[in-house]
Amino acid sequence: MVGHNPALMGLLPETVQAKRRANLRRLLVELESDGIESNLLIDQVLGLRPGVLAELRKGGDVSDAMAREIEWAMNRPPGWLDRNPKAPEV
């Protein structure tokens, strides 16, 4: 089990964070292509409090609750942000 292997402890959360950040970037590209570009407006669309996107862009973690809120707001299935990212579709 991953949680019991000391060599892997600490690795899993960063891996999840990397996936969430990559998939969030995909969502931001999608929103920006729809003309939604300001951090404040994106916060509103994603269901986040004002300023959260700015924190995330500086490297802040995407919590489990925040990930589920973003997925709901963007009509993605639960766990979508935690999946391996794919290249944005053009």
Residue 66 backbone phi and psi in degrees, to 5:
-65, -40
Cβ-contact 75, 53 below 8 angstroms? no
Read off the pLDDT of residues 6-51 as tens digits, 9 standing for 90 and up: 444 444 567 899 999 999 999 999 999 999 999 999 999 999 999 9
d(CA 35, CA 41): 10
pLDDT at residue 70 in the model: 97
pLDDT at residue 40 in the model: 93
What mean pLDDT do residues 56-61 have? Answer: 92
pLDDT at residue 12 in the model: 53
pLDDT at residue 34 in the model: 95
Cβ-contact 70, 30 below 8 angstroms? no
What is the SS3 assignment for 13-36? HHHHHHHHHHHHHHHHHHHHHCCC
| Side chain identity at residue 84, one-letter code | N
pLDDT at residue 3 in the model: 43
pLDDT at residue 4 in the model: 46
pLDDT at residue 10 in the model: 47
pTM of the model: 0.78
81 secondary structure, DSSP code: G
Write down the H helix ranges in the chain.
Answer: 11-33, 39-46, 52-57, 64-73
